[in-house]
Structure 1
Amino acid sequence: MTVRDDLNVRDDLSAGINVVLHFAFLGGIAWATGRPFLFPSLGPSAYLLATGEQPRAEGAYHVVGGHAIAAVCGLATYVVFADGLLVTDAFTRAGSFSPAVGRLVVSSIVAMVLTTVGMLWSDTNHAAACATTLIVALGLMSTPLDTGIIVVSVALLVVFHGKIVEPLQDRYGVEPQDAR
């Protein structure tokens, strides 16, 4: 068995602990409120925050801004093209060339285009936000309340990282040194 040259056990364990802290915090809020403060696109965002500075991917402006743009673009396209549809139901019931699936496809395509252009124009480039726009455009979290929860959850993630996780890393000397 060979050890990779880029293996850094200290950094990797620190990043793993950081992710635990991030998701325990948001999971506690989700559990206490019964609201979806955890959703799939938070995973990549938490990973980027936990593993260290990565240009154009980390930081409050990129993370919160990217998800906010994505949530709004996803909601706008969902309301225009696929209102009332849910991707899991549409594919379960659909046959070939289903109008419902077609509407969700159009909603997703337009949401991705708007999100991509919006993030590029605002320089909020955060790739994980592209998953957010699809979550919303496909009907999984497609109410104004859900959209607000997405933005608040991401903002809480970033604030928690900056106010709790980073000071703990500094105090115990475990901040990842090699962003990967």
Structure 2
Amino acid sequence: MKPFAILLLCALSPLAFGSLFSGFRQGPGQAEGDAGGPSLERTEEDWRLREMELMARIRSLELELVQERALRMQREREWIEFTKLLTLLPESKRPELPGFLQPEGPEVAATEEDSEVQAQSLENTRELERASEIKTTLRAYLRAEGMAAFDLLEVGLVGEGFIGPIVARQLDEQGRFLSTL
């Protein structure tokens, strides 16, 4: 560092960092306007008061948490009882489903959507299986070629004619991590 920069830093440090220490009390024998600078020591009583405030806050939050958990459990029990009672009613006397539970369209549309979802799920499963096979094959190829410096982590997504991104760790001679590729 250049001498000018050091002098500038020393000159500005009380201005820059003075606000950090403004909340601390003055030490014993030190007046408010004393040129010696603020003391970093707080009295033991200040610390005890702060600890008591924080402990009271923790207790109130823990009590609030217990009350909310009890309220949630009560609502869950009421919901379970309500649904059990609905199943006991004959179908003709059951109330209509609330709006958030009713299907949006006719059941035929739901069946078509279900078949599309199942087809997409099957395709995703096949892609994951294919990616796993490629990962195993590539890992075996790297080992067969003597490339122990690479540990294959992820091969990415399978597409038509491509796969990627491939993520590998580069290792040193003792097998310690060096970088990610």
Q: Which protein shows a greater Rg?
A: 2
**TM-score, L = length of structure 2:** 0.23
Question: Which structure dedicates a bigger proportion of its chain to helix?
Answer: 1
Highest relative contact order (Cα 8 Å, sep 6+), 1 or 2?
1
**TM-score, L = length of structure 1:** 0.23
